[in-house]
Amino acid sequence: MEDDFPPLPAPTASGVSKTPKNLKSASEGQRGKIDSRTRTITPHGDILLEFVTPASQSQDPTSASYKVRTSAAALRQSSSFFATLLDAAKFQEGRTVLDKMKQLDITYGNAERVLSMASPDELPQLRLELPVLPGKIDKRRLLETYLNMLTVWGQQSGDDDATQTKERIVDKPIPFLSCLAVLADRFGGEQALAHLLKAQYDVTLPPRRKAPEPFLHRLRGFKGENEEQIRQAIYLAYFLEDIKAVRTHTHRLIIHGSDEWTSENIHGYAGIDRPVWYHLARGIEGKSLQEMRYRYKRILDTISNLQSSFLHAYGATDCQPHPSLVLLEPTMTSRRLQCRRYDQNSVACDSFHFGEMVRFFNTRTRSLQLHSTLGPAVIDDDTVDNDDDDEDEDDDAKPSQFLFPFALAPPSRAPNPPTNISNLIASLRQCPEYQINDNHQGCGIRRRLIPALDLLERFTADNTWAVGICLADFEHFTKQGSWRNKSFRQGLLVSTRGGGKTLNVHCLKGREVSVFAICRHEPDADLAMALFNANRKDWGL
């Protein structure tokens, strides 16, 4: 029981012990009033850190702060941020901590007794604002892990406790470690975290224990369940500067699509109340250069171009008053018949397949929509009260409608396009093989559409990373490695032969460009850039 009480004060010259008022309040009253939210990282720590959530995320002030007791020396050793902040010669926070420790030394007699007797609330305190983090993350557990990492970083590798702590950190899920990287980026410790994640397989393991999978292998093979988890993997890959992981997960996000890239959010800028992985830096997602969003758009434009090519081949014509739209109406203008029989009813066969195409693209894949070319639709103004008589108007009195590809639709009128490119290609593969009669087998688009989709899937499938961003080439050769290179797009013509099995890349006369050797780490990256970026495409129809 004696261990539960602080040691008695030293006797005075008169032989009567005197307990300082401050010591009495700390030993008798403070221990019963310690905030239950306070966690201890270092039992004899000399500083109390209070982390508060940003104002944009704080809904309940009583649960928006997290107090942790730790060692100031460990913070200085492992974090350049804390080393600078706690420097009394540079910042007021450092001088405040120093003055507070001097007062406690006077109160308790020496620094050793301060660390063993003082309650956490008496220690010097620093109040720090947390960066924006996901709402589902356990912030208290995250902070404890972060401060534990800083504490064990300076310890010897032979320390069993330090080794176990490092292993526990490395075994955390990818989303948790991405949040840990955010804290390391804000409060320091990047070197400590990067070392743990990159060199975790070098730690000494007990006998008969299976060595864990190297973390970088786990990061590269991680498959996020949603957009945020994919973004977290990209952020962590950039944090570790792993070229393969960056290319893998940027490819997945481009193919998956983002809610930030839809027509309702045409600027593509996330608010400051979103985590940092919604503001990916280094040019891949920013106001000046949104590389991932642009690559996603170019792939959708290519699929739309393929769709439009089939529609034109079977009878669609351009609408002259509105050249940005493709009028889809069967006509008798001169064109090459697509019917394989060349019979009397070949025109009827093409018209039949044209109608089947429109129905399939509009109702099944939803990559085509109805739109009027006679003028803008009348939009009711909510500020004007409508008469009751308006309800009796004929519901059939609507403007005539036409069809056009979704990628060419005005943002204000277009529905949300399919954001997942893999799902879009899979839905296009469901194109049926109908015929006007038994004599017209194979006259439809399926026999030529499937090989073209195979070609697209070669560059967009999950087992290839052809459209991902190569960290080395993109940063050092931004103009050549970026898909936004205008001269590259205008100088190319791509064509497919053999039913889409062969991709030919042609440089237009006077506009020779270097197509190959743009990416040194992914063999198909050059062809993918050519296919999806060329302004002129010939699908061999």
Q: Any idea which residue has 């743990």 for tokens?
A: 196
Segment holding 146, helix H or strand E: helix 139-153
| Percentage with pLDDT > 90 across the chain | 24
d(CA 357, CA 76): 67
pLDDT recorded at residue 267 = 54
Residue 189 backbone class (left: φ over 0; alpha: ψ -120 to 50; beta: rest): left
CA 495 from chain center: how many Å? 33
Query: Whole-number mean pLDDT of the chain?
Result: 75
Q: What is the pLDDT of residues 389-436, one digit of tens each?
A: 444 444 444 433 344 454 444 444 444 544 799 999 999 999 988 877
Pair type for strands 502-507 and 47-52 = unpaired
Exposure on the CB side of residue 190, measured as CA atoms within 13 A = 12
- pLDDT tens for residues 349-360? 888 889 999 999
**Looking at residue 462, what DSSP letter applies?**
T
The strand pair at 65-70 and 317-318 is best described as unpaired
Render pLDDT for 316-342 as a digit per residue (tens, 0 to 9): 776 544 444 444 444 445 677 878 666
CA-based nearest residue to 117, from 129, 103, 104: 104
Higher pLDDT, 135 or 26: 135
Q: Please say if the pLDDT value at position 476 is more than 60.
A: no
127's CB contacts (< 8 A; 6+ apart) are 50, 52
How far is residue 322 from each of residues 19, 49, 304, 478, measured CA to CA in Å? 91, 63, 18, 36
64 pLDDT more than 50: yes
What's residue 182's pLDDT? 96
Over range 272-278, report the average pLDDT.
85
Residue 523: per-residue pLDDT:
76
The structure tokens 């720590």 sit at: 45
Side-by-side strand order, sheet with 502-507:
502-507, 492-497, 536-538
Position 298, amino acid: R
Can you tell me the distance from the alpha carbon of 333 to that of 100, in angstroms, rounded to the nearest whole number? Answer: 90
d(CA 108, CA 100): 12
Alpha carbon distance 262, 414 (integer Å): 10
Nearest 5°: the CA angle 353, 354, 360 is: 85
Q: Are 38 and 120 in contact (CB under 8 A)?
A: yes
Terminal alpha carbon distance of the chain: 91
Residues contacting 270, CB < 8 A, separation 6+: 260, 278, 279
- Give the pairing of strands 492-497 and 368-371: unpaired
**Which helix (DSSP H) or strand (DSSP E) does residue 497 occupy?**
strand 492-497
> Is-contact 175 232, C-beta < 8 A?
yes
What pLDDT is attached to residue 534? 87
Q: What is the DSSP letter of 469?
A: -
Q: Confidence band (pLDDT; 50, 70, 90) for 478?
A: low
Going by C-alpha positions, the residue among 362, 457, 350 that lies closest to residue 401 is 362
DSSP state of 21: H
pLDDT score of 303: 94
pLDDT tens-digit series, residues 371-390: 777 765 554 544 444 444 44
CA angle 387/388/390 to nearest 5° reads: 75
Closest Cα to residue 215, out of 234, 200, 236?
200
The helix/strand/coil state of 117 is helix
The neighbouring-strand residues paired with 494 are 505, 537
Helix (H, G, I), strand (E, B) or coil at 160: helix
